[in-house]
Amino acid sequence: MNRSALPDPTRLRANDPCFCGSGRKFKRCHRASFDPVRAAVVSPPRSVPEEIERPPYADTGERSVRGEPDVKSADVIERMRRTGSAAAEVLRIVGDAITPGITTDELDVICHEASIAAGGYPSPLNYGGFPKSVCTSVNEVICHGIPDSRALEDGDIVNLDVTLYREGVHGDTNATWCVGTVDPLSRQLVRVTRECLEKAIAEVAPGRPFNRIGRVIQEHAEAHGFGVVRAFIGHGVGETFHSDLAVLHYHDPRDTRVIAEGMTFTIEPMIALGDWHHRMWDDDWTAVTRDGRRTAQFEHTLVVTSDGCDVITLHPDGAWSGEPGSSDDLT
Ligand SMILES: [Zn+2]
């Protein structure tokens, strides 16, 4: 199981037959989804009804850090379980709308309205001035893509990152979907990324060092010839959207901090087909790979229990959103 087993569609020539088996030339079939993602038109921010409880930054755009403790009270954890489950339901609703031709702005509308219908505030909205209610990261966009007028292409991959604020706490979860017919190498990237998160979750238990999380992610990604993005990390979450606790997705043996019962944090590996270095767009939000090759991401919020952890951003049906994992073995 390695990268060389699957053809790289970015190396297809324009007149080669398309990877999808249509018999058409690549240039007349799926090549458009490999064009660089470009910024498009961002519509005005959407409003949230008065009756919805707002996080402190909703009106200021600040990224307040209250010095929230890493270990949460039982009360905070109970509220986080309810909000996390609701966030997963919102993610599923938005993901179900993914289809070639829909714009990421239309997905933002769906997320905004589903968040409000769930009785919550869409946490990204005005967080640090972010203009939209969900992050939509297409192809080489690593994270924090801003929904805009770009329509999804058949052959794209897209990550939706949903965070919901309700009962005074945040629930943060994301997943990556394939749009229409996607080339086998990109599908492998998405599958391996999901497996990286599954393996990382299995490492979480009180008394263990945090560095086991990054080690298992990096080992699994690199076994497939993929890279781990370093610049964006998992984080503590609770009454604040991003608290001080940092969760690395790569192996740093010097990170000897120990996981403790009652901690709540995200794990959200971003895995790159090629080089893991990033660059920022001029909007200061959108992070893309420097080499322009694709990345995928999956994220859950966890609470550390007495003997492991619970994923608190599971949909009530127990299934993850986004593309499936190892049952779809492509190699
Ligand atoms: Zn095709």
DSSP string covering 182-218? --HHHHHHHHHHHHHHHHHHHH--TTSBTHHHHHHHH
Location of structure tokens 């919901």:
164
CA of 33 to the centre of ligand 1 (A): 10
- Report the Cα 188 to chain-centroid distance in Å: 16
Which residues lie at CB < 5 A from ion ligand 1?
18, 20, 22, 29-30
Contact assessment for residue 17 and residue 25, using Cβ atoms and an 8 Å cutoff: yes
Contact assessment for residue 83 and residue 165, using Cβ atoms and an 8 Å cutoff: yes
SS3 category, 25: strand
CA of 189 to the centre of ligand 1 (A): 19
CA of 269 to the centre of ligand 1 (A): 29
Give me the pLDDT at residue 67, please.
Answer: 83
Give me the pLDDT at residue 6, please.
Answer: 87
The pLDDT tens digits for 59-111 are 999 886 678 999 999 999 999 999 999 999 999 999 999 999 999 999 999 99
For 1, other C-beta atoms within 10 Å of its C-beta total 12
pLDDT along the chain (331 residues), means of 10: 71 94 95 95 97 96 83 98 98 98 98 98 97 98 98 98 98 98 96 98 98 98 97 96 95 96 98 96 97 97 98 96 67 37
CA of 182 to the centre of ligand 1 (A): 9
* Dist CA 140 CA 137 (whole Å): 8
* Dist CA 65 CA 239 (whole Å): 10
CA of 22 to the centre of ligand 1 (A): 6
Q: What are the CA-CA distances from residue 279 to residues 30, 168, 242, 270, 285 (Å)?
A: 26, 34, 22, 14, 10
Candidates 96, 71, 323, 288; CA nearest to 197 is: 323
Amino acid in the structure at residue 175: A
**Eight-state DSSP code of residue 61:** -
CA of 146 to the centre of ligand 1 (A): 27
Q: What are the CA-CA distances from residue 65 to residues 56, 68, 120, 236 (Å)?
A: 10, 7, 21, 11
Map out the domains of the chain with their CATH numbers.
Answer: 72-311 (3.90.230.10)
Give me the pLDDT at residue 2, please.
Answer: 52
Give me the pLDDT at residue 320, please.
Answer: 95
**Eight-state DSSP code of residue 65:** -
Torsion of CA 193, 199, 202, 203, to 10 degrees: -110
CA of 167 to the centre of ligand 1 (A): 46
Q: What share of the chain is helix, strand, coil (3-state, %, to 5)?
A: 25, 20, 50
* Dist CA 88 CA 81 (whole Å): 11
Q: Residue 137: beta bridge partners?
A: 159
The two structure tokens encoding residue 327: 């049952």
Q: What phi, psi does 295 have (nearest 5°)?
A: -135, 160
* Dist CA 200 CA 261 (whole Å): 17
CA of 107 to the centre of ligand 1 (A): 25
